[in-house]
A and B are shown apart, each in its own frame.
Chain A
Amino acid sequence: MAFGVASVVTNKGKAALADRLRTTPGTYTTSPKYVAMGTGATGAGRTAAVGDTALSTEVESRTSGTESVVTTSVTNDTYQVTGTIAATATRAVDEFGLFDASSSGNLIFSATLNVISLTNGDSIAWTAKIQLT
């Protein structure tokens, strides 16, 4: 499949949302607050899809984002994570993900983007939203 711009809650993400509604989640015991970015989607010809389990080429360390619940359409209907990642080299960022761990873990939210070119020292302040509709 050719590269395209898209953002999805993955299959793992859907399972995680359901699991975490329980009093005691069985499998997904940590929240998807770990923000990740990568540079490999264009080269891999990857468009974000529900079956994604990892980014194509993840770069830099994940950051533990700030979680909140915000309003999009109905009061408090949206889960939001914000986090900033700095580039330690020139980067052509074209993918984003929310994971439930600081390394490895489950990809809950996957996105592919038009390339954002960064030079060493630049950062991206990410804001991801999952609205329940």
Chain B
Amino acid sequence: MVSVTADVIAGPATAARLGVPVGSVITTQEARYYRSRWQRTLWRLRHPRGGHITTLKGSK
């Protein structure tokens, strides 16, 4: 039988965002949140005129 486990450890940026000490073990969900926010920021930069209007037009 084989197994692998992964403990995610917060680096400086993630620790500051979560308000925990650098080196803390965090959940994968806590780690994922940063990426989601980063992705949203990137999306906004790529769609400077506002994506909601575009999305509504596209759904008609």
Question: Which residues of chain A have a CB within 8 Å of any CB of chain B?
Answer: 7-9, 72, 84, 86-87, 90, 92-93, 96, 109, 111, 113-114, 116-131, 133
Question: Please, what's the 1-or-0 string for B15-52, where 1 marks a CB less than 8 Å from any CB in chain A?
Answer: 00000000001001001101100100000000000000
Q: How many angstroms between the C-alpha atoms of A128 and B3 in the bound complex?
A: 6
In-complex Cβ contact of B9 among A72, A109, A123, A133 (8 A) = A123
In-complex Cβ contact of A113 among B6, B10, B25 (8 A) = B6
Tell me whether chain B's interface is mostly helix, strand or loop, or mixed. mixed
B13 touches A121 (CB 8 A): yes
Question: Which residues of chain B have a CB within 8 Å of any CB of chain A?
Answer: 1-14, 25, 28, 31-32, 34-35, 38
B2 touches A7 (CB 8 A): yes
A119 touches B34 (CB 8 A): yes
Q: How many angstroms between the C-alpha atoms of A56 and B33 in the bound complex?
A: 25
B2 touches A129 (CB 8 A): yes
In-complex Cβ contact of A117 among B1, B5, B34 (8 A) = B34
Distance (whole angstroms) from the CB of A98 to the closest CB of chain B? 9
Residue of B nearest to A133 (CB): B1
